[in-house]
Amino acid sequence: MTKYLITGGCGFIGRALTRELLTQGAQVRVLDSLLPQVHGDTRPATPDVEFIEGDVREGDAVKRAVKGVDGVFHLAAEVGVGQSMYEIARYTAANDLGTAVLLEALIAEPVKRLVLASSMSVYGEGLYRTAEGETVRHARRSAADLEAGRWDPVDATGTPLTPIPTDEEKPVDLASIYALTKFAQERAVLIFGATYPTETVALRLFNVFGPGQALSNPYTGVLANFGSRLINGSPATVFEDGQQMRDFVHVEDIARAFRLAMEQPPAAGHVLNIGSGQSYSIASVAEMLAEALNRPELTPEILNKARSGDIRHCFADLSKARDLLGFRPEKRLEDSMEELAAWIAAETSVDRGAEMRRELEDRGLVR
């Protein structure tokens, strides 16, 4: 029977991936440090799973975890653009040093394939098109633009650019410490795969949502953050003007994509976008969730302020994932709101959104 290791396997995506693998008849081992910010005081139940409590930076724990497995899904990481801009050492150590420790362990205990959870954040701004139809791969907004409330990237004449789906050929543009650490992980893993017997794949995940996300962690996914605010009677807090566009992909689709990335031979050595291929404005998503939670009166609080490290628009071109994995998303955001709202309503959450905003403002990271 095939046996897989999932680092960070007690997290939101890790639990969904565990279910996906068990359903397919695989055995699962999990390595997780049970970080309080993510898990609180709860020790996640892991039925039918071999669990090792340990940090991915701890060599002995990692060596024990990789021994005897056929493949590794590397999900363990600190996650959050905003927090990464001031907890720099923490993010760099967990993400980059943790990956290095894992790779060293795999020299002695090679596996068939390693699949890394990377992030769409490495793109910075997504792809754009000018009014003349030219593709723009290096759009950026200046600090002066943001302070003046000029939210959309423009061309040399000041004409707004039109966002288009972003493919893997777009050059990276690292706008946050989190993005920097994820790109370093990607490169380390792909270099390793070109050198040693272990094949490697990196998945650039777009905005993941679904039941099971950490509602009390304000640096987790935007929908969980909105849900925690709304269920506690406060409006969703939206940076800029709320019209920034994102791609939201259900966690069950993400789990299936990880399994396919482990199984499909053509994926070896590639970086792949995993998203829904659809774009939604952040304000409209907040409104959809408020409606699903029967809180339509809680209209989004539009801050008209920018958060350092954020980008304006980015949504996925999935052509490569379709070609190499046969991946097609099955659960659309608008069809999953009732499911998400029912789960949020049944959970107990602490709204830490104001705390997160205060931490960023105190450090000058909101302008």
Known catalytic residues are 178
- Are 163 and 348 in contact, with CB atoms under 8 Å apart? no
* Structure-block tokens of residue 80: 């959050």
Taking the alpha carbons of 37, 30, 203, 250 in that order, is the dihedral positive or negative?
negative
Q: Which residues make Cβ contacts (< 8 Å) with residue 144, sequence separation at least 6?
A: none
Taking the alpha carbons of 66, 189, 112, 18 in that order, is the dihedral positive or negative?
positive
Q: Which residues make Cβ contacts (< 8 Å) with residue 297, sequence separation at least 6?
A: none
Q: Which residues make Cβ contacts (< 8 Å) with residue 167, sequence separation at least 6?
A: 127, 273, 317, 319, 320
Q: Which residue has the tokens 């049944």?
A: 346
**Secondary structure of residue 249 in the 3-state scheme:** strand
Rg (CA), the chain: 20
Rounded Cα distance between 223 and 189, Å, is: 30
Hey, which residues does 128 pair with through a beta bridge? 136, 163
Number of residues assigned to the chain: 367
Residues 253-273 as b or e (16 or more Cβ within 10 Å = b):
bbbbbbbbbbebeebeebbbb
What does the DSSP 8-state code read for residue 121? Answer: G
Most distant pair of Cα atoms in the chain: their distance? 61
